[in-house]
Amino acid sequence: MPKSSKVTQLEHSNEHVTESVADLLALEAPMDYKSSQMSMNMAGGGPPPIGKPDISPDLEDGRPAWNSKLQYILAQVGFSVGLGNVWRFPYLCQKNGGGAYLVPYFILLILIGIPLFFLELAVGQRIRRGSIGVWNYVCPRLGGIGVSSLMVCGFVGLYYNVIIGWSIFYFFQSFQYPLPWSDCPIRRNGSQAIVEPECEKSSATTYFWYRETLNITSTIADSGGLNWRMTLSLLGAWIIVCLAVIKGIQSSGKVMYFSSLFPYVVLFCFLVRGLFLKGAVDGIAHMFTPKLEIMLEPQVWREAATQVFFALGLGFGGVIAFSSYNKRDNNCHFDAVLVSVINFVTSILATLVVFAVLGFKANVMNEKCVVENAEKILGYLNSNVLSQDLIPPHVNFSHLTSSDYAEMYSVIKIVKEDSFAQLGLEPCLLEDELNKAGAVQGTGLAFIAFTEAMTHFPASPFWSVMFFFMLINLGLGSMIGTMTGITTPILDTFKIRKEVLTVGCCIVAFLCGLLFVQRSGNYFVAMFDDYSAGLPLTLVVILENVSVAWIYGTKRFMQDLEDMLGFRPHTVYFYLWKYVSPVCLLILISASVVEMAISPPGYNAWVQDLAMERFQSYPPWALAMCFALIIVAMLPLPLVFIARHFNWIPDGSNKLSVSYRKSLTKEASTLEDETRFILGKNPSEAPSPMPSHRAYLGPGSTSPVELITNSTSISGYGSGYQTNPAPPKSES
């Protein structure tokens, strides 16, 4: 008899044996996890009977498994650490108080990030299904959570791979010296050579991005046709993704060894190189100088919560899909904390790198400003517009420093107060250049600001190749998780060959992605980024939290975790899941709706004649498209709820893997043997089996005695499970 058996524990007690049996089999017994839907794949009682090998669930149902714990951790890190860590977090940090921004970010990481990440890891590992199967199993009426999650993954994957395509284009363009975005192109006008006006009005890197790369139109209504270079880059990106995920985790797991680790090598190389650049320390100091007065603003906390939310990949289904290939006794609590900390440290590391490089760029631009304005002052001195007496005697125009220019500028401004504006002199403050450099994010940071900084590096092509190869790997890690979040639920639900499904998804996605490689495609990328994921994904995670904490029951979930992990998670998780996280998420979604309502829907269009961006409102058809993205992503939630409520569709819980059936049989037979041992009955004296519809062991079952003694119906589990179970009653 296993030592952990309740029968053994009560064998020497003073209570009557029938009371022990009743306690063992009662629905509200301390070991009520036997009636838990999420506990069905848990082996019951102890070691298997002698003569029967302990078959792992991975072998029982043929479900793939990670080759090692390292491979799994790298997959989760690769999925959560993406492009946003490099080009979104540094911008938010600079915008929202510098080092002070880290305080609300870290607090919200503790309150909503780690608990919800732990929750997704736990349900995926426990139920061993993709997002659709997991939420069908936890609460059938909220089964639309998985479908909405899958649709958001689809929307995000469509435009996210376009960014990888852009990185591929820049990667191959980097194999030349000088870099093609180092200087403005020269246009020949007869015998006269002139600088391209659009480039002269902006900058070489800005011109290369908008004109040479995107060849962008001035409005979203003007498609401009396909950009063939971007089309080929997108095709290459989808081929890479397809090859990485075609064999499931068998192929993607091996890719993760490189795609997850290589970005850290590049970031450390950039950090070491950046620290030796002039002005790097100024950039880092500017970044981490706390602005405490900004930290208390609600906008800062809202943006910090949003960044925490998306940085960990919550709600996408990739986290659940990856964890579903784990052993069921894996310590997912440790994984949740580890991956969250790695994600946070990576964001700080990327911020150090970005602002070290941008500090160098700001220093270069400030020196250029000083030189240009010093030449203006010399011109005014030679034309007697300014008197030589205004120039301090220690100033040497041959070696003019920023401090010398600042002193000269202040004197001239005071003396020539009335006519100073006509001189056209600029203050050339390093602080202004740092603010200007840190005010860019997203594609503006990666393809304009950072590329411009790298043109001033020695051996600039090498650093450019490294940088864009890093972006490709960061994007690839996130795309592998996104594709796994799409394919795993489909493979769990339908019997389709993995390779056929993967290739089919990639082909369809490439054809849909042609929308983003038109000349106006960048505007659609911005549209999908703003509307396809934010609101639907926040609602998905709220419902995930509610379905586990309030419908399934927080106490029951904690018990399941104790059975699975071998220890009970800290009580703080009970209150975080039940109260804190739902309240924080409700505040976040309310703030997001308000922000969306007060912000005019529109996009930043590149105006070729002015060589600058200008905000434009969406035309009616584009506005309808924005709201359609939100509605389509959230539509499965009410549709599935209504359909399940009126029993128009099956609840989906009958689609169990073989491991569920075998572990359930093993669990029930162990308890049956213990019951017979206590009662002293032979198998022939055992109660007669009940009808097969009592095979379901969920919380909706009413008679655990009938349920456990029903060995006949359990062996015929496939047919007996067709009856729709009642949804779990909250035990919180």
DSSP letter for 653, please.
T
Q: Which of 430, 432, 412 is nearest to 421 (CA)?
A: 412
Q: CA 26 to CA 442: how far, in whole Å?
A: 57
Residue 478 annotated in ligand binding: yes
For residue 164, count other CB atoms closer than 10 A to its CB: 25
Tell me if residue 106 falls in helix, strand or coil: helix
How many CA atoms within 13 Å lie on the side-chain side of 443?
21
Tell me if residue 659 falls in helix, strand or coil: helix
Q: CA 651 to CA 660: how far, in whole Å?
A: 17
Tell me if residue 459 falls in helix, strand or coil: coil
Radius of gyration of the chain (CA): 31
Q: Residue 651 to residues 139, 433, 564: CA-CA distances in angstroms?
A: 9, 59, 25
- In Å, how far from its chain's centre is CA 480? 12
Report which secondary-structure segment, H or E, holds 574: helix 572-575
Q: 2 with 8: CB under 8 angstroms?
A: yes
List the Cα angle 310/159/184 in 5-degree steps.
110
Longest dimension (CA), the chain: 118
Residue 474 annotated in ligand binding: yes
Beta strand pairing call for 602-607 and 612-617: antiparallel
Residue 314 annotated in ligand binding: no
Q: Which of 608, 603, 557 is nearest to 578 (CA)?
A: 557
Q: CA 85 to CA 307: how far, in whole Å?
A: 9
Q: CA 167 to CA 240: how far, in whole Å?
A: 13
Q: Which of 554, 659, 728 is nearest to 140 (CA)?
A: 728
Residue 78 annotated in ligand binding: yes
Q: Which of 463, 276, 425, 433 is nearest to 364 (CA)?
A: 433
Residue 81 annotated in ligand binding: yes
Residue 724 annotated in ligand binding: no
Binding residues: 78, 81, 85, 343, 474, 478
Numbered residues of the known binding site for Na(+): 78, 81, 85, 343, 474, 478
